[in-house]
Amino acid sequence: MAEIATKPKKEKIPRQAMPEQDPGDRVKNFDEVPCGYPPETAILEAKRCIQCKKPGCVEGCPVDVRIPEFILQIAAGNFLGAARTLKETNCLPAVCGRVCPQEDQCEKTCILGKKGEPVAIGRLERFAADYERDRGAVTIPAVAAPNGKKVAVIGAGPSGLTIAGDLVKLGYDVTVFEALHKAGGVLIYGIPEFRLPKAIVEAEVDYLKQLGVKVVTNAVVGRLKTIDDLFAEGFDAVYVAVGAGAPVFMDIPGENMSGIYSANEYLTRSNLMKAYRFPEYDTPIVRGKNVAVIGGGNVAMDSVRTALRLGAENAYIIYRRSEVEMPARKEEVHHAKEEGVQFLLLTNPVEYLGDKDGWVTGVKCIRMELGEPDASGRRSPVPVPGSEFVIDVDTVVVAVGTMANPIVPSTTPGLETNRKGYIITKGESGETSRRGVYAGGDIVTGSATVILAMGAGRKAAQAIHQALSGVTTE
């Protein structure tokens, strides 16, 4: 680069890029897109960290990972040490290194970001966790002696797994009840293989099992047993982390036609049920040629990139605002564009058209323009009268958000929820209106991120520990 050096100074190491699969190749497979740092690149990147005395990165992390410490270990080539440092505060580092929005958290508050590019903390986290797992070097830390207290966790997603790990280490007898046949929650059913390989999630769950966490699958709390049943069985506390699993539809004409999916269904078929490997796996999925995904969040990006990998010739994102307002991570939008996704922005579906068998053939859209900022601070989209047009599609995925699933709240007398059905908690402890019942993650906040759900699990673990053992941890 033609930078004019006024005086000689120490050569700066640039932020290290992570190698990734070529877009042309990767749309034909479900393998992970980024390939991870090789050790020498990780060391180089780690050396960029200036080891701040008051590290901003740690303040930006919802689970307080000791970031400078693990980075220093990587810089010194002590990769396994780095992994262990990570795991002291984060039981899912291989997951977080991949799916955390670091640009809004640790990397946002990295001092290097003020003048240049922040340290690639997420990539380093991923590197250390992968290094340990790939070498079979995962060790099981000593846990406290059993304290005779039992805690039930409902939901084996990021929040439930985090609290389970924290409490089992403190000596609790922890049982996680999962409704589906596999643990992991959104990490298993929602996030695609090309962004988070399922073998990694399975390894993280196995790690927790080795720590002593019991995982009971196929257990729909609210149907098989209620929270009151759990107390009757001898549990001393219950943590509700059932997520915001119910899909939102737009309630426009034709939305129930064949070929129209919720993102939850589309992704669950592909990820949890491995429909992308049909007929080797038995669950089918429609391999549409012209696929429209409605929405502009990460789930929409996951859906549209899945559609491409399932063979779509045209894969559209239809989003009612402009790219600036898109809630998806920039990296996801970038990857989607590289892969050939067509973005129809300032566009909103108003109706679906279908054939005589009730299969969707088109989506009628209307152009939008941005008006005044709304409650979210984003400029609200307003339809442009008379601007309707039709896009030919054979498959649609509706990815406009999720809402609370009522199964647990509706079967737990005295558990207070808000107008939208989310559980009301007292501050960060996760305490609910029911004594001994705690809640956290998306069922409290509405759909958010993996790491925020984990942070809620961490804080509830501390609150439960204090309530049951009278001990404050920090």
Distance CA 238, CA 228 (A): 10
Among 78, 89, 147, 283, binds another protein (CB under 8 A): 283
262 binds another protein (CB under 8 A): yes
CA dihedral 133, 135, 136, 137 (to 10 degrees): -80
Residue placing its CB nearer to another protein in the complex, 226 or 429: 226
Chain position carrying tokens 């699969």: 21
# residues contacting another protein (CB under 8 A): 43
Q: Which is nearer to another protein, 23 or 421 (CB)?
A: 421
In whole angstroms, give the CA distance from residue 323 to residue 316. Answer: 14
Based on the shown chain and the rule CB under 8 A, indicate whether residue 353 belongs to the binding site for another protein. no
Q: Which is nearer to another protein, 246 or 467 (CB)?
A: 246
Cβ partners under 8 Å of residue 409, min gap 6:
415, 417, 421, 423
CB atoms within 10 A of CB 373: 10
What is the per-residue binding string for another protein in 149-188, x denoting contact by CB under 8 A? ------------------------------xxx-------
59/355 with CB nearer another protein: 355
Distances (CA, A) of 197 to 187, 202, 243: 9, 9, 21
Binding of another protein by 370 (CB under 8 A): no
Q: Write the CB contacts of 441 (distance below 8 Å, at least 6 apart in sequence).
A: 155, 157, 158, 159, 160, 241, 242, 243, 448, 452, 453, 456, 457
Q: Does 359 bind another protein (CB under 8 A)?
A: yes
Q: Given the rule CB under 8 A, which of 4-12, 257-265, 289-297, 425-433 is the region that contacts another protein?
A: 257-265
From CA 212, how far away is CA 384, in angstroms rounded? 58
Q: Which stretch binds another protein (CB under 8 A): 62-70, 129-137, 269-277, 438-446?
A: 269-277
Mapped onto helix, strand or coil, the DSSP state of residue 292 is: strand
Beta bridge partners of 354: 360
Q: Which helix (H) or strand (E) holds 395?
A: strand 395-398
- The yes or no reply on residue 268 touching another protein (CB under 8 A) is yes
List the one residue from 87, 169, 269, 434 that touches another protein (CB under 8 A). Answer: 269
Among 47, 103, 113, 278, which residue interacts with another protein (rule: CB under 8 A)? 278
Least distance between another protein and beta carbon 183 (Å):
13
Q: What is the DSSP string of 27-81?
A: TT--S-SB----HHHHHHHHTT----SS-HHHHT-TT---HHHHHHHHHTT-HHH
Q: Is 234 in the site for another protein (CB under 8 A)?
A: no
Cα–Cα nearest to 390, from 344, 342, 357, 358: 344
Count the alpha carbons within 13 Å of 14 in the hemisphere toward its beta carbon.
4
Rounded Cα distance between 59 and 369, Å, is 38
CA distances from 104 to 37, 121, 161, 288, 298 (A): 22, 12, 23, 34, 14
Is there binding between residue 358 and another protein (CB under 8 A)? yes
Site pattern 204..233 for another protein (x: CB under 8 A): -------------xxxx--xxx--------
Q: Is residue 379 a contact partner of residue 323, using CB atoms and an 8 Å limit?
A: no
Residues 20, 228, 265, 323: which binds another protein (CB under 8 A)? 265
Q: Which is nearer to another protein, 255 or 323 (CB)?
A: 255
Closest listed residue to residue 290, CA positions, set 219, 390, 218: 390
Structure tokens of 54? 């008051």
**Site membership for another protein, residue 28 (CB under 8 A):** no
Is residue 273 a contact point for another protein (CB under 8 A)?
A: yes
Is residue 346 close enough to count as binding another protein by CB under 8 A?
no
Among 89, 258, 361, 433, binds another protein (CB under 8 A): 258
Task: Name the one range near another protein by CB under 8 A: 57-65, 76-84, 283-291, 415-423.
Answer: 283-291
Identified binder of another protein from the candidate list 157, 247, 441, 457, rule CB under 8 A: 247
Q: Residue from 51, 210, 256, 418 that binds another protein (CB under 8 A)?
A: 256
CB of 340 to another protein, least distance (A): 25
Site for another protein, residues 313 to 342, rule: CB under 8 A? none
Considering only the stretches 127-135, 153-161, 256-264, 292-300, report the one whose residues sit in contact with another protein under the rule CB under 8 A. Answer: 256-264
Contact criterion met (CB below 8 Å) for 193 and 199: no
Neighbouring residues of 140: CB distance < 8 A, sequence distance ≥ 6: 207, 210, 211
**80 or 219: CB nearest another protein:** 219
CB 117 within 8 A of CB 14: yes
Helix ranges (H only) for 100-252 are 121-134, 158-169, 186-189, 198-211, 227-232
- For every residue of 245-284, DSSP letters joined together read -EEP----TTTTSBTEEEHHHHHIIIIIS-GGGTTTSS--
| 55 vs 185 by CB, closer to another protein | 185
When binding is defined by CB under 8 A, the residue of 279, 385, 386, 470 that contacts another protein is: 279
Output the smallest distance, CB 104 to another protein, in A. Answer: 27
Asked if 407 touches another protein (CB under 8 A), the answer is yes
The least distance separating another protein from the CB of residue 219, rounded to whole angstroms, comes to 8
The residue ranges that bind another protein (CB under 8 A) are 179-181, 189, 217-220, 223-225, 245-247, 249, 251, 255-259, 261-262, 264-265, 268-269, 273-274, 278-284, 286, 357-359, 405-407
